[in-house]
Structure 1
Amino acid sequence: MELTTPTKLEFYDQMLKLQSKAILVHYFKGDDGRKALILDNTIFHPQGGGQPSDTGFICVTDSNLRFCVQDVRSKDGVVFHYGVAEDSSMENELEQGKGKEVILQVDESRRRLNSRPFVEYKGTVPLNELQSKQREIEIEVNALISKGGKVNATVLPYREAAELCGGSLPDYIHPGSNPRIIKLGDNPGCPCGGTHVSDVSEILSMKLQVSQIRTKKGMTKVFYTIGT
């Protein structure tokens, strides 16, 4: 099966949207036996970037058919919604449903669980300062959580995106592209394709703890856990 038209990612522009409409492009059974729907657009976030996929339902308009979305993956820009029809006897309707309108409903509780903010630290840390820097980052991030701040997602031209991110972008963002930038409160932005809470204060019940800091080839990575 070859698909050349990428799926439009509605959650890029409307991160908090949990229900939408789309057009069914294809229904098929993969080599692994799993069944999937492909739509012209989606609000379901596929697994990637360290974030688990959304789950939920896709319903055919003016029909009793409900497709339970159990996993979502993206390949070459096309999003695959894997799952099963609640009533297997109605699968024929999906097989013949190309071009039909469907209604998407994302599981809100799972989306909220997966939409926790991330941490990015730019720069290098001397080996003899790793332990003190770990504690410093914990204090800084937990203070940010307590303070709160609006979370915004915007797709911008490369130059504007770089300005919003403190003057530069990571090497994997190509000049001339239009990256999606997430901004937490008044802090510098960061390129990210995931979903997030609408305000940092929504995770007040959680606390971040840095578990490890690694520096390699001039890049520092911070590993952390979030608990209640």
Structure 2
Amino acid sequence: MTERLYYTSDALEGTARVLRCTEQADGRYGILLDRTLFHPQGGGQPADKGWINGVAVEGVKQQDEEVIHLLAQPLPLGEVELKIDADTRELHSQLHSAGHLIGYAGEAAGWQPVKAHHWPGEGRITFAPGEEAAEPEIAIFTDAISRWQSASLARVITFEAGRRMVRFGELSAYGCGGTHVRALGELGEVVISNIKVKKGQLIVNYTVA
């Protein structure tokens, strides 16, 4: 099992130990660490970028309870230095936090979030209808998000029955393994680019400026 330091820490640099280095089918090397700062691809969020001992991390994936870091060259067993690409982490965190806010606003309008995709240039939240759901206007989302941002609600992380929960201020918590801004004042402008209802589901496309 890999200890996921990013669950509770915003650190962008640290150390870990290489426990295993295995050549992959594509010629790259899968590095297993005892703990990691790198968020793997999954949960609607792309993987972090960065370096291990100065070697670029080309991908990060989850295999059961392990996090595998993909590098172009092998690393020896033992202690290594980790460094996260700060700009990429910031963007991914902003997109994921914005997705949660869209989820909150959609719920207030009678829709239930069922799927999220927090990728740069592809952000979208998919909702299933509640009993009295009607297609909302973009202002329903932007007005609510602006209020929460103006209050700069702080991120709150808790664990319930071993599951990581994330919320902002007193808003409801979502089960989530992703990275987020520390407070909504760090979010930037959330731009809702399109809203549509397709096959009974509401799809909200968004980005962060």
Task: Give the TM-score band, short-chain normalised.
Answer: 0.7 to 0.9
Matched, 1:208 2:191: yes
**Correspondence list, 1:92-107, <5 A:** 94=75, 97-98=76-77, 100-107=78-85
Residue 185 and residue 203 in structure 1: after superposition, are their counterparts in 2 closer, same or farther (change >3 A)?
same
Displacement of 1:138 in angstroms is: 2.6
The 1-side partners of 2:159 and 2:133 are apart by: 39
Displacement of 1:139 in angstroms is: 1.7
SS at match of 1:152: strand
CA contact (8 A) 2:58 2:71 kept: yes
Q: 1:109-131 CA deviation, whole Å, 9 max, x = no partner? A: 11001001123244435688204
Gaps of 5+ in 2: 112-128
The 2-side partners of 1:182 and 1:213 are apart by: 27
Larger radius of gyration: 1
Residue 126 and residue 147 in structure 1: after superposition, are their counterparts in 2 closer, same or farther (change >3 A)?
same
**Correspondence list, 1:37-116, <5 A:** 37-59=31-53, 66-85=54-73, 91=74, 94=75, 97-98=76-77, 100-116=78-94
User: What do you get for the CA RMSD once the two structures are aligned?
Assistant: 2.4
Displacement of 1:33 in angstroms is: 1.9
The 1-side partners of 2:196 and 2:7 are apart by: 30
SS at match of 2:135: helix
Q: Counterpart in 2 of 1:146?
A: 150
CA contact (8 A) 1:214 1:222 kept: yes
SS at match of 1:129: coil
CA contact (8 A) 1:13 1:155 kept: no
Displacement of 1:150 in angstroms is: 0.8
* TM-score of the two chains, using structure 2 as the length reference: 0.77
Query: What letter matches 2:31 in structure 1?
Result: L
Q: Counterpart in 2 of 1:8?
A: 3
Alignment match of 2:164 (pick from 166, 180, 184): 180
The 1-side partners of 2:179 and 2:133 are apart by: 35
Residue 83 and residue 13 in structure 1: after superposition, are their counterparts in 2 closer, same or farther (change >3 A)?
same
The 2-side partners of 1:141 and 1:222 are apart by: 17
Residue 216 and residue 49 in structure 1: after superposition, are their counterparts in 2 closer, same or farther (change >3 A)?
farther
CA contact (8 A) 2:135 2:202 kept: no
The 1-side partners of 2:133 and 2:50 are apart by: 47
Q: How many residues align?
A: 182
Residue 222 and residue 148 in structure 1: after superposition, are their counterparts in 2 closer, same or farther (change >3 A)?
farther
Runs of 4+ in 1 over 6 A off after TM superposition: none
CA contact (8 A) 1:35 1:83 kept: yes
Which has the larger displacement, 119-128 or 70-79?
Answer: 119-128
SS at match of 1:31: coil
Which has the larger displacement, 190-199 or 145-154?
Answer: 145-154
* TM-score of the two chains, using structure 1 as the length reference: 0.71
CA contact (8 A) 2:27 2:72 kept: no
Q: Counterpart in 1 of 2:30?
A: 36
Paired-residue identity, %:
26
Matched, 1:129 2:137: no
Q: Counterpart in 2 of 1:175?
A: none
Gaps of 5+ in 1: 1-5, 60-65, 86-90, 158-177
